[in-house]
């Protein structure tokens, strides 16, 4: 590896010791895990937190006066505060636990839609959205007789800002865009997107599923109205996610699920609802997931998200340089500001074949449409090979990826 231009100020070997899953042999080779945009691996402290919880503390929250239930409730509400601090929300009740990004977007689409969207209104998304930030809005539009408008992008994978401005009419009730594209890596100019929408009194939802693990988030500085992300993509457990919403919106929005915990008083004639945040947390939530997520956030914060971002950018630059040496590689997503995601195709070789050969070398990449079929249609392709990096990846693993791709080209001619 040529480290002349890559000043590595990051003890990655030390970090890797925290992730037991990384130290295994796959098909006779050490695992090189490059599928971090799909889900991240878990540090030992998160695994220990979950084991310890089930071993010593398991009890349902909010409903008991006994010792275990109180301990559980405290840990759950502390977890909410940990998330609040992590994204700098003004109030802890603005942090709602959901099962993930998808559930959080569906919650807003349903609840915001019920309260604020009527026939003839419009919702604006971008052409690079994950299905999770397309389909819930389509369902809502169908229910309400509203229309979905799409901000176009260019061949580099950047949104066309002038076109965005043209879409901001009085009919628009919400703008929902991804911070970082899970396919292209593009970091969207969300500050500008939010400011401009607010100039037209339009609220904005940011899909942070691919940003929150790489870029420090301050929802108050951004002034976004909603921000959503998933625990499993930020080194926490699966089945837990966050819906951040400004209190003023969440207070006005009706609950989208009914059941225990979200109620104040229930009679057969009429039910009144609980205050935030419980109004949006019906039934037994994934409280252990929330506690695990808080541990993951503490872990990441201890390392330092700034440091993580810098190291990942160096990995990204190195991987791009290495893969660019193959003339037959075509990249998708070449915006100057990118998260650590590289999508590509090797001319004449199906992405599935590339993925299969790399797998046999112990290298895990993702192939397919990455839940972004409209984006694939835009580029007129069936799918890509996606390499998504984390701070536990190494320059040596990227060298192995490069050798693997050489092998793919040799094999398939």
Residue 32 vs 177, nearer CB to ligand PMP: 177
Residue 84 vs 210, nearer CB to ligand PMP: 210
Tokens (6 digits) for 217 = 């988030």
Shortest distance, position 104 Cβ to ligand PMP, whole Å: 8
Which positions from 131 through 160 interact with ligand PMP, judged by CB under 6 A?
132-133
What is the CA 12 to chain-centroid distance, rounded?
Answer: 23
Identify whether 371 is a catalytic site residue: yes
Of all helices (H) and strands (E), which one includes residue 344? strand 341-346
x-marked contacts with ligand PMP along 164-203 as a string, rule CB under 6 A = --------------x---x---------------------
Of 128-136, 153-161, 197-205, 298-306, which part binds ligand PMP (CB under 6 A)? 128-136
Does 100 bind ligand PMP (CB under 6 A)? Our answer is yes
Residue 18 vs 207, nearer CB to ligand PMP: 207
Strands (E), 152-217: 172-178, 204-207
Count H helices, E strands: the chain?
14, 17
- Block residue for tokens 């349903």: 110
Query: If you ran DSSP here, which 8-state letter would residue 329 be given?
Result: E
Shortest distance, position 169 Cβ to ligand PMP, whole Å: 26
Shortest distance, position 315 Cβ to ligand PMP, whole Å: 19
SS3 state at 174: strand
Residue 213 vs 393, nearer CB to ligand PMP: 213
Shortest distance, position 368 Cβ to ligand PMP, whole Å: 11
Q: Which residues pair with 151 in a beta bridge?
A: 126
Q: How many residues contact ligand PMP, by CB under 6 A?
A: 14
CA proximity to 29, closest of 360, 384, 413 = 360
The one among 130, 246, 322, 366 contacting ligand PMP by CB under 6 A: 130
Shortest distance, position 207 Cβ to ligand PMP, whole Å: 5
CA proximity to 392, closest of 213, 183, 209 = 213
CA proximity to 235, closest of 32, 47, 9, 56 = 47
DSSP string of 30-83?
E-EE-BTTT-----HHHHHHHHHIIIII---SSS--SHHHHHHHHHHHHHHHHH
Of 95-103, 155-163, 249-257, 393-401, which part binds ligand PMP (CB under 6 A)? 95-103
The one among 84, 101, 213, 285 contacting ligand PMP by CB under 6 A: 101
The one among 207, 225, 281, 295 contacting ligand PMP by CB under 6 A: 207
Alpha-carbon torsion (188, 192, 196, 202), positive or negative: positive
Of 84-92, 97-105, 251-259, 378-386, which part binds ligand PMP (CB under 6 A)? 97-105
Distance between CA atoms of 216 and 218, rounded to whole angstroms? 7
Residue 349 vs 385, nearer CB to ligand PMP: 385
Residue 236 vs 255, nearer CB to ligand PMP: 236
Which positions from 211 through 250 interact with ligand PMP, judged by CB under 6 A?
230
Shortest distance, position 170 Cβ to ligand PMP, whole Å: 28
Catalytic residue selected from 45, 141, 224, 371? 371
DSSP string of 77-134?
HHHHHHHHHHHT-S-GGGEEEESSHHHHHHHHHHHHHHHH--TT-EEEEETT--GGGT
Contact footprint for ligand PMP (CB under 6 A): 37, 100-102, 130, 132-133, 178, 182, 207, 209-210, 230, 371
- Positions annotated as catalytic residues are 371
């Amino acid at each position: 590896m040529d480290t002349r231009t890559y000043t590595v100020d990051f003890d990655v070997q030390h970090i890797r010791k925290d992730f037991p899953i990384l130290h295994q042999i796959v098909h006779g080779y050490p695992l090189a895990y490059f599928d971090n945009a799909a889900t991240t691996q878990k540090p030992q402290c998160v695994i220990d937190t979950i084991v310890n919880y089930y071993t010593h503390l398991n009890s349902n929250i909010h409903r008991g006066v006994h010792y275990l239930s109180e301990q559980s409730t405290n840990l759950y509400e502390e977890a909410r505060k940990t998330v609040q601090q992590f994204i700098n929300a003004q109030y802890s009740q603005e942090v709602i636990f959901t099962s993930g990004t998808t559930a959080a977007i569906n919650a807003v689409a349903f609840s915001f839609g019920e309260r604020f969207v009527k026939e003839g209104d419009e919702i604006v998304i971008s052409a690079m959205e994950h299905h999770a930030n397309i389909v819930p809005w389509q369902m809502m539009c169908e229910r309400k007789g509203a229309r979905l408008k799409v901000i176009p992008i260019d061949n580099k994978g950047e949104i066309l800002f002038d076109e965005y401005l043209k879409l901001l009419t009085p009919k628009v009730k919400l703008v929902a865009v991804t911070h970082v594209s899970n396919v292209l890596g593009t970091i969207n100019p969300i500050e500008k997107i939010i400011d401009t929408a607010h100039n037209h009194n339009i609220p904005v939802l940011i899909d942070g599923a691919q940003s929150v693990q790489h870029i420090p988030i301050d929802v108050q500085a951004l002034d976004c109205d909603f921000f959503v992300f998933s625990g499993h993509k930020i080194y926490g457990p699966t089945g837990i996610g966050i819906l951040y919403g400004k209190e003023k919106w969440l207070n006005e929005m009706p609950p989208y699920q009914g059941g225990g915990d979200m109620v104040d008083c229930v009679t057969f004639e009429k039910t009144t609802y609980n205050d935030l945040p419980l109004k949006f947390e019906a039934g037994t939530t994934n409280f252990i997931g929330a506690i695990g997520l808080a541990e993951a956030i503490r872990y990441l914060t201890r390392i330092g998200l700034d440091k993580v971002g810098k190291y990942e950018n160096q990995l990204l630059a190195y991987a791009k340089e290495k893969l660019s040496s193959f003339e037959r590689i075509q990249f998708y997503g070449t915006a100057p500001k990118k998260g650590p995601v590289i999508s590509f195709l090797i001319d004449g070789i199906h992405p599935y074949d590339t993925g299969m050969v790399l797998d046999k070398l112990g290298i895990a990449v993702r192939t397919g449409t990455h839940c972004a079929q409209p984006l694939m249609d835009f580029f007129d392709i069936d799918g890509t090979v996606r390499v998504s990096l984390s701070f536990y990846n190494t320059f040596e693993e990227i060298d192995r990826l490069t050798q693997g791709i050489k092998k793919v080209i040799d094999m398939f001619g």
